[in-house]
Structure 1
Amino acid sequence: MIEAGATAPDFTLPRDGGGEITLSGLRPKKVVLYFYPKDDTSGCTTEALDFTRLREDFAAADTVVVGLSKDSVKSHDKFCQKHGLGVILASDENGDTCERYGVWGEKSMYGRKYMGIERTTVLIGGDGKVLRVWPKVKVAGHAEEVLETARSA
């Protein structure tokens, strides 16, 4: 998994609503890059709604919020429309970006092992350096904690 102090791997990925998003193109703003397992599941929906609710506060902290999963742009668009989301959702269908950030790995649910995205958030400074990593995120209160960190960074 990527660590604080490392240079965040750049990427260009398709995004919700069409077009692409490039990490380095967001500089000099800070970026909250949150990796989540699947569109429209309970934890992922709560997380996206929490970040959406705080989007004005993140903007005031000169920070852009980007959610990233392996879901397609079409799935992201449905997810955004269904829940009125206001964050950017990037599609990493081939998993390259997930691999480079070290968030793709073996998971376990009800005794069954499978490969998936480990819910992780990465705060990236305006210079492209990783400021903080939150591995194995618990959704409750997480967006607020990330906002406080972004404000003080």
Structure 2
Amino acid sequence: MISRRNFISIFLALCLTFYGCLNSALPTYALGGKLPAINQAAPEFSLPTNIGDGEVALSDFRGKWVVLYFYPKDFTSGCTIEARRFQQDLPQYIEKNAQVIGVSADDVDSHAEFCDSEGLKFPLLADTKGTVSKAYGSWMNFISSRHTFIIDPEGTLRETFVKVNPNIHSQEVLARLTELQAA
């Protein structure tokens, strides 16, 4: 007889195995939905931001590389670590003519507090209805999934990251950005 605890462990292992197979068999899908296609125009967007007045649009950054990262919630441990790492590496992104932009379902006020608390110097966009997160296959019910996209200066999606470890992710993105710029 299998114990309830062992049953749950086995069930979770099978689910993760199935998800891994699904994810490798269908790379254009992630837990948040259908991902936009690599080497195609990145979905355009315009969202309110915590920095300055008004909204930020993808088209505002033509001529620059864009690192667009989606994250679940301000002030949570993984999201705070990820934001700190992007901030720590921000001078390297600037040297590479790249703009880091964070997106979550939190509102502008929450983003402003988060930036103040963590000393973040890049914009966080308020996708409170999940519209942009959905366009990027990064929406799960009421929060954004932890996904990152590299968009080139012409607005073409060049890379997608869906299995993100917040501790090392910024360095992974920098390494891939360097490869893309050298190609």
- Structure 2 runs not aligned, ≥5 long: 1-34
Q: Check conservation: 1:11, 1:22, Cα contact below 8 A.
A: yes
Q: Check conservation: 1:39, 1:79, Cα contact below 8 A.
A: yes
Question: Shift in Å at residue 88 of structure 1?
Answer: 1.2
Partner Cα separation in structure 2 for residue 72 and residue 37 of structure 1: 12
The corresponding residue for 2:120 is: 85
The corresponding residue for 1:54 is: 89
Paired AA for residue 14 in structure 1: P
Partner Cα separation in structure 2 for residue 17 and residue 66 of structure 1: 11
> Which of 105, 109, 127 pairs up with 1:70?
105
Residue identity (%): 38
Q: Check conservation: 1:48, 1:87, Cα contact below 8 A.
A: no
Paired AA for residue 31 in structure 1: V
The corresponding residue for 2:71 is: 36
The answer to whether structure 1 residue 22 and structure 2 residue 57 are counterparts is yes
Q: Check conservation: 1:118, 1:136, Cα contact below 8 A.
A: no
Question: Shift in Å at residue 44 of structure 1?
Answer: 0.3
| Rg larger for | 2
Partner Cα separation in structure 1 for residue 140 and residue 87 of structure 2: 27
Question: Shift in Å at residue 87 of structure 1?
Answer: 1.8
Between the two structures, name the one with larger relative contact order (CA 8 Å, sep ≥ 6).
1
Question: Shift in Å at residue 101 of structure 1?
Answer: 0.7
The corresponding residue for 2:151 is: 124
The answer to whether structure 1 residue 149 and structure 2 residue 176 are counterparts is yes
Cα RMSD for the two superposed structures: 1.2
> Which of 151, 155, 161 pairs up with 1:134?
161
Tell me the TM-score normalised to structure 2 length.
Answer: 0.76
Q: How many corresponding residue pairs?
A: 145
Partner Cα separation in structure 2 for residue 40 and residue 16 of structure 1: 15
Question: Shift in Å at residue 105 of structure 1?
Answer: 2.6
Question: Shift in Å at residue 152 of structure 1?
Answer: 2.5
Partner Cα separation in structure 2 for residue 69 and residue 49 of structure 1: 16
**SS at 1:80's partner residue?**
helix
